[in-house]
Amino acid sequence: MNYMERYKSWLKDKNIDEKTKEELKKISDEKEIQDRFYKDLEFGTAGLRGKLGAGTNRMNIYTVSKATQGFANFINKQSKEYAERGVAIAHDSRHMSKEFALDTALIFAANGIKAFLFEDLRPTPELSFSILHLKTAGGIVITASHNPKEYNGYKAYWEDGAQITSKIADPLTEEINNVNDFSTIKRISKEEAIEKGLLKIIGKEIDDIYIEKVKKLSITDDVDKDLCVVYTPLNGTGNKPVRRVLKERGFLNVHVVPEQENPDPDFTTVGYPNPEDTKAFKYSINLGKSVDADLLVATDPDCDRLAIMVKHNNEYVSFSGNQTGAILIKYIIDGLKGKNALPKNGAIIKSIVTGDLGKRIGQENGITTFETLTGFKNICGKENEITKNGEYELIFGYEESIGFKAGDFVKDKDAVISSMLLVEAAAYYKKRGKTLKDVLDGLFEEFGYYLENNFSIILEGIEGQERIKRIMKEYRNLYPKEFSGIKMIKYIDYLEMKEHDLVNNSEKETDVPKSNVLRYFFEDGSWYALRPSGTEPKLKVYIYSIGKTMEDAKEKLNAIKEKMMEIIDSVE
């Protein structure tokens, strides 16, 4: 069916409620109808994600229930044991999150699959932990992470506690696509599900065990616990767990931004609740100045990402995910070395679009760095692969997009863990007369000035998606061979899974799975990459330079951007 036929079929469908049909009837712009119905929401790096509203290309009770019925069918095709183990379910503070989570639980229950449903909002990483702790067959968290209020999402996890990879996603997607009639979706009432033992409400008992495990990741207690911290959960799920773990670790000088403390699905004070954007720190900076805070910490609404600002020379300085990750790597490695606990087979895992400073620190300390595709499902998949037989021991996993993990009891990025470690690191260095900015500057002096300019080109709608495809296609033929006299030495096209060595005129297969990513490397260590987002209408650009001085690195960043944007802008 084309988009108009799909639209009309929803208006005629007896299984679609009247309120939804009224919403559809009020749409006067055919382009809006087209955007809502030209495709089904697809699984990207984070499952389903889209704008709330009626339509096949929107997040609503119908698209969520279709995905859940498909997931239930998939589980029931595995074995009876998988159904008995059940599924853990959590949700964030967004519009419809609680409703989607309950409906998801009742659909699983109606299909004979036990549902462990959190009583109220919880961080995404705690959902991952609960899967491993309860030994469920999988899990679901209803969240759109850091997206604006108009969005929601549906992240699917498997028994290893990590987001589903293609091995599971492909047959699961097939099952979801086979659910063609909403009348085939099974449901029972909450009361019946509880009575039959198919729905269990969970909460504090899981929280307590999770927080205890987080605290055990502490590196040292030799810190200044008077460190003044301002924390904002950005009206999301981090408020209680982050404050609790800091309090129990003895950090009592913690101030929470009052306007962003409690759940707010409209994110009234911030609009775009992404702590990677320094605008999200507006209220934190104001509070920080009034209490003379040393450190500002922000977590996104589902509390799997974290960003910081540090007071240095009486100004609050922002840190990128690459820089924060490098500092955490240094702190963890130095701390383990101090206790003679640094493993000889230690490993760092980062995404292919994450910078190299953390890798360089690891290299200096005999730590191997592995690279994988974007998304913590891939980082944790790699973790499972390299640690399975004890060949390597994971020290740290991270992405440039402010996602970090330590420990092995959560198979996802975790801002509760990273909040504790960041506060602890800042307190450790404060006791020694340093800020985290001093630590970063020391890394630059030791290893070189690693700078970055990462940004997104937003191209919405069908036209935008088509232009992104054209840009990627054209760029494969038109990429610049040098900038400012610095020559390219190789490039990797992950779509064809080949690394092209331009110096030796040779090529080899990559050990990273297939993906539509282009990456270009230069003789001085600078490089850049292009990647269409899997969940948002964006072309993501990552530019990295390394220089002998700050100015040198900045000039290289600008030169690379100018060259590549000439090509991107030329593609209509």
For residue 453, give the nearest of 305, 562, 537, 567 by alpha carbon. Answer: 562
Contact indicator for 180, 295 with CB cutoff of 8 Å: no
Order across the sheet with 115-118: list the strands.
48-51, 151-158, 138-142, 87-91, 115-118, 199-202
DSSP code string of 176-232: HHT---GGG-----HHHHHHTT-EEEE-HHHHHHHHHHHHTT---S-S-TT--EEEE
- Classify each residue of 39-67 as buried b or exposed e, where b means 16 or more C-beta atoms within 10 Å of its C-beta: ebbebbbbbbbbbbbbbbbbbbbbbbbbb
Token pair of 447 as six digits: 């290893």
Contacts of 519 (CB under 8 A, 6+ apart): 352, 353, 491, 492, 494, 527, 528, 529
28 is an active site residue:
no
- CA atoms in the 13 A half-sphere facing the CB of 548: 1
Radius of gyration of the chain (CA): 24
User: DSSP 3-state assignment of 51?
Assistant: strand
Beta bridge mates, 76 = none
Nearest to 357 by CA among 546, 217, 497, 531: 546
CB 200 within 8 A of CB 114: yes
Cα 224 versus chain centre, distance: 31
Cα separation, 166 vs 148, whole angstroms: 27
CA distance linking residue 246 with residue 202, whole number of Å: 23
Angle between helices 166-177 and 61-78 (to 10 degrees): 120
Q: Please pick, among 145, 320, 419, 526, the residue that the annotation labels catalytic.
A: 145
Give me the half-sphere count of Cα atoms (radius 13 Å) on the Cβ side of residue 26. 8
Q: How far apart are CA 114 and CA 105, in angstroms?
A: 8
Please answer whether residues 9 and 1 qualify as being in contact, where contact means their C-beta atoms are separated by less than 8 angstroms. yes
C-alpha dihedral, 416 to 422 to 424 to 425, nearest 10°: 160
Which amino acids are annotated catalytic? 145
